[in-house]
Structures are given as C-alpha cells and as structure tokens.
C-alpha cells in the first residue's frame, strides 16, 4: 500500500481534523432525531394540525350532550299588556289589577327575569354520525402526523450522514493535497537536477492545483451540510455539534424492516375514507326528524335577580326539515363526491406504497452491489498507485503516470465513501417504505459509528 493510502486509512479510522472550534458534545443520529421531534418545523406544524383536528372532533359533542345556560335580563315598560304580564310572572296580580282605568292608564313597571335552561338532544342521528366522521378525521390527522414525523426522520438521517460524508471527503482531499504538494517538490527537485523535464514539474503543479480546488469546494460543501443538518433538526443556529468521523462501517440486517403497523400515510388514507363515508351517512340522516328535550327554571321579580317565586317548564320538541331550498340535497351530493374521492385516494395511497416498497428494495440491492464494486476499486487503485510510485522513484515511470494513478485512487476513495452513504440512505428508505420506525435503525447505526471528529 502506498504511503498516501496508509495515511488515509489512519486518518479515517481515527479522527478528522478541521472540525469547528468550540465543538460541543458528540451528536448521535438518535439525538438528532429527538431534536427533530421536538424542534423540527414540519413536525411542529403537523402536531398543531392534529391538535386542531382533535379540538374539532370534541366540538361535535355539542349535538350529543346536553347544554346548560343561565339567563338574566331587565325590562321596563308602560305597555298595559306587557305590564300585566310582569304582574302575572311576579305573582303580584290582585283584584285591583283588573280595574279598567288602571289597565288603560298602566303605570311603567319593571321586571328582572332570571332563568336556568337545559337543552338535551334526544334523537339527533345526524349529530351522532357527524361525531363519528370527526373522530375519523382526528385519527387521520394523527396518522398524518406520524407519517410526517417519519419523513422528518429520513430527512435528518440524510442530512446527518451528508455532513459526515462531507467531512470525510474533506479529510481525504486534505491528505491527497499534502501528497500532491510533495510530488510537486519532488518533480521540481528532479527537474533542477536534470532528471526530468520542466514540463513534468509544471504538470505536477497543475494536478496539485486541481486537488486543492476540490478541497476548497469540499470544505464549502461541509459547511453547507452542517447548516442543512441544523435546519432539518429545527435548530438552524446550532452547527457546532461533533459528528462521527466516518460513515457506518456495517449495516443492520434488512430483514427487520417490516413495520408492526401500517404506514402512517396508509392509516391516514384509511381514516380519511372512513370519515368521508361517515359524513355521507350524516348527510342522509339529516333528512330524518330530530327530537330534543328542554327544561327551564325561571324567576321574575320587580327588582332583584333570582327573586320571587320560581317557575319551571319542561318539554319535548320534534322538528323536521325535509326541504330548505335544496341545501340538504346539495349537501348529500357533496358528501357522496367526497366519499368517492376518499376511496380513490386510499387506493392510490396503497398502490403508491407498494411501488415505493419495490423501488426501495431495488435501490437497496443496487446500493449494496455498488458499494462492493467501489470497495474493490479502492483496493485496485491503491495497489496501482503503489506500483507506479515505486517505478517513479526508480526512474521507470513518468510523473504523469504517477499523477494519474494518484487521481484514480482519490476518485476511488471518494466514490467508495459516496457509495457507503448511498447504502445508508437506501437502507433508511427501505425501512420507512415498509413502515418501520427509523429510531430503531438510528440506534443500530449509532452502534457502528466511528470515533467522533476532533
């Protein structure tokens, strides 16, 4: 193995230099997921939406549970009929109250009315069905929240290992740049001694400049990757956490990806379909009569609240509105159309989920094969570089050959790191496609993480 290859392996197995100064404690992938659960913007929006749906579902109790209210009011009038009604309610009618002169010239009278009213729905079939529909809608919102959370976990995982990959690429380029700078010095010394032409030294300098340019770009990409990870976790101001030095060296088995419950999007689609069907039934039941009961407890007095002798009233009322300008028929057509749309949506979600699972499984197989090829390419490129380096040292190879093999080794190592990243992401996508909770995968990946960067 070449000296450059040995240095790369030592660096990647130990720690990555150049981490931000003042770095915090190591941030594991599991920690990043917990941050996203608490601070992630999409998660917070989805959680608030689910709470709103739960509140709307609770609001449908108005058509199911009794309602109680208190009333109080003050009236004053010299209307003879109104004034006589005040006397009746205040239990103040005497024989003198029937005097025609007094009735024709009624004095102004006051009445303080106090009431306690109870209204009890008895048979409101559409209200019960509306409550069922709202409950299904609440379940759909909660399932959607679970799916959003799963998606945010996948995005955090992508951003987390993208940041690790970026630092790993920076470390690789830093060492290759050191080696390329050494080649430039060797070529310049050989040219000064007449062992090689001046063009060899210039070519070595050009190749070193190319490596340095890639290094500058890689450092910029590493900074951006940190920012994207911070944004994915909902903490955009925190970019100083310490990450692993290398990508995971092994992958959890792919046979544990079957979720114990259906995916969140499928559960949301199923609940939405049930909500639409329940709402369709509510629209049909709205054509039936409604029966409600009520009870009142009233006080009337000339000047005080809850004064005078109490009175009570109870009753039952049936109402039926078979036609109110055609609004109920339009509501039924709307509810039927919504039910058809929800049915199609549930079928589409199921078909899309099956396709996503097939795509994820295929991507996983491709990523595994690509990593195996990339790993073998690293070994081959490293050996080729070693052979040409020995030939160059003995004057049997041109500097262009040395630089070409060095570039090939660099490309192979960068490609291998990318292939390992792609495998990690493919594994996570397969887990999510099958409905698994990514927190368990995160714990398994954390267990294989390398040493933290320094």
Residue 124 in this model has a pLDDT that exceeds 80: yes
pLDDT band of residue 17 (cuts 50, 70, 90) is: very low
- The SS3 of residue 111 is strand
Q: Are residues 307 and 230 in the same domain?
A: no
Q: Tell me the backbone φ, ψ of residue 193, rounded to 5 degrees.
A: -90, 0
In a domain, 354, yes or no: yes
In a domain, 7, yes or no: yes
Q: Are residues 101 and 248 in the same domain?
A: no
pLDDT, mean over the chain? 88
Q: Are residues 435 and 305 in the same domain?
A: no
Q: Are residues 132 and 20 in the same domain?
A: yes
**pLDDT for position 56:** 92
Q: Are 204 and 403 in contact (CB under 8 A)?
A: yes
In a domain, 452, yes or no: no
Q: Are residues 305 and 349 in the same domain?
A: no
In a domain, 282, yes or no: no
Q: Are residues 245 and 373 in the same domain?
A: yes
Q: Are residues 166 and 301 in the same domain?
A: no
- How many domains are there within the chain? 2
**pLDDT for position 261:** 65
pLDDT per residue over 332-357, tens digit each? 999 999 999 999 999 999 999 999 99
In a domain, 283, yes or no: no
CATH code for position 439: 1.20.1600.10
**pLDDT for position 376:** 95
In a domain, 453, yes or no: no
In a domain, 82, yes or no: yes
Reported pTM: 0.81
Q: Are residues 101 and 51 in the same domain?
A: no
Residue 7 in this model has a pLDDT that exceeds 90: no
Mean pLDDT value of segment 222-251: 90
CB atoms within 10 A of CB 59: 12
- The SS3 of residue 39 is helix
**pLDDT for position 395:** 76
Q: Tell me the backbone φ, ψ of residue 2, rounded to 5 degrees.
A: -70, 160
Q: Are residues 108 and 40 in the same domain?
A: no
Q: Are residues 30 and 171 in the same domain?
A: yes
**pLDDT for position 191:** 80
More confident residue, 4 or 247: 247
What is d(CA 175, CA 228) in angstroms, rounded to the nearest whole number? 26
What is d(CA 147, CA 143) in angstroms, rounded to the nearest whole number? 6
pLDDT per residue over 259-282, tens digit each? 456 899 999 999 999 999 999 999
Query: What residues make up the domain containing 204?
Result: 3-61+128-275+329-447
The residue from 266, 300, 321 where one domain ends is: 321
Q: Is the dihedral of CA 243, 246, 247, 251 positive or negative?
A: negative
Q: Are residues 315 and 344 in the same domain?
A: no
Q: Tell me the backbone φ, ψ of residue 18, rounded to 5 degrees.
A: 85, 15
In a domain, 352, yes or no: yes
Q: Are residues 292 and 265 in the same domain?
A: no
């Amino acid at each position: 193995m070449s000296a450059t290859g040995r240095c790369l392996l030592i660096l990647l197995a130990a720690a990555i230099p150049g981490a931000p100064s003042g770095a915090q404690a190591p941030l594991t992938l599991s920690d990043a997921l917990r941050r996203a659960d608490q601070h992630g913007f999409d998660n917070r929006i989805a959680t608030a939406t689910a709470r709103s749906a739960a509140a709307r579902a609770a609001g449908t109790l108005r058509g199911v549970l009794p309602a109680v209210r208190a009333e109080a009011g003050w009236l004053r009038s010299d209307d003879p009929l109104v004034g006589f009604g005040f006397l009746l309610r205040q239990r103040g009618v005497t024989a003198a109250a029937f005097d025609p002169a007094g009735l024709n010239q009624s004095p102004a009278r006051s009445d303080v009315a106090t009431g306690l009213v109870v209204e009890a729905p008895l048979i409101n079939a559409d209200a019960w069905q509306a409550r069922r529909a709202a409950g299904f809608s609440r379940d759909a919102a909660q399932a959607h929240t679970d799916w959003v959370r799963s998606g945010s976990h996948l995005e955090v995982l992508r951003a987390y290992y993208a940041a690790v990959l970026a630092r790993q690429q920076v470390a690789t380029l830093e060492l290759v740049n050191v080696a390329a700078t050494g080649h430039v010095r060797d070529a310049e010394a050989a040219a000064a001694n007449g062992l090689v032409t001046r063009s060899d030294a210039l070519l070595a300098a050009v190749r070193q400049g190319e490596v340095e340019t890639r290094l500058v770009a890689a450092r910029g990409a590493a900074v951006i990757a940190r920012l994207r990870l911070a944004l994915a976790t909902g903490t955009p101001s925190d970019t100083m956490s310490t990450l692993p030095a290398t990508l995971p060296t092994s992958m959890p088995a792919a046979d544990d990806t079957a979720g114990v419950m259906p995916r969140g999007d499928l559960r949301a689609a199923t609940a939405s379909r049930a909500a639409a069907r329940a709402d369709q039934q509510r629209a049909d039941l709205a054509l039936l009569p409604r029966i409600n009961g009520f009870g009142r407890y009233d006080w009337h007095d000339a000047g005080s609240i809850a004064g005078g002798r109490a009175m009570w009233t109870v009753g039952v009322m049936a109402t039926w509105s078979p036609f109110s300008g055609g609004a109920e028929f339009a509501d039924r057509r709307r509810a039927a159309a919504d039910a058809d749309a929800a049915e199609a949506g549930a079928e589409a979600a199921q078909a899309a989920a099956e396709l996503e699972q097939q795509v994820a499984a295929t991507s996983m197989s491709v990523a595994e094969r690509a990593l195996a090829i990339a790993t073998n390419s690293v070994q081959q490129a490293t050996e080729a570089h070693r052979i040409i380096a020995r030939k160059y040292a003995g004057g049997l190879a041109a500097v262009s050959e040395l630089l070409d093999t060095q570039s090939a080794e660099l490309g192979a190592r960068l490609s291998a790191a990318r292939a390992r990243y792609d495998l990690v992401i493919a594994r996570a996508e397969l887990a999510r496609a099958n409905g698994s909770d990514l927190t368990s995968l995160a714990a398994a990946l954390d267990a294989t993480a390398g040493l933290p960067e320094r």
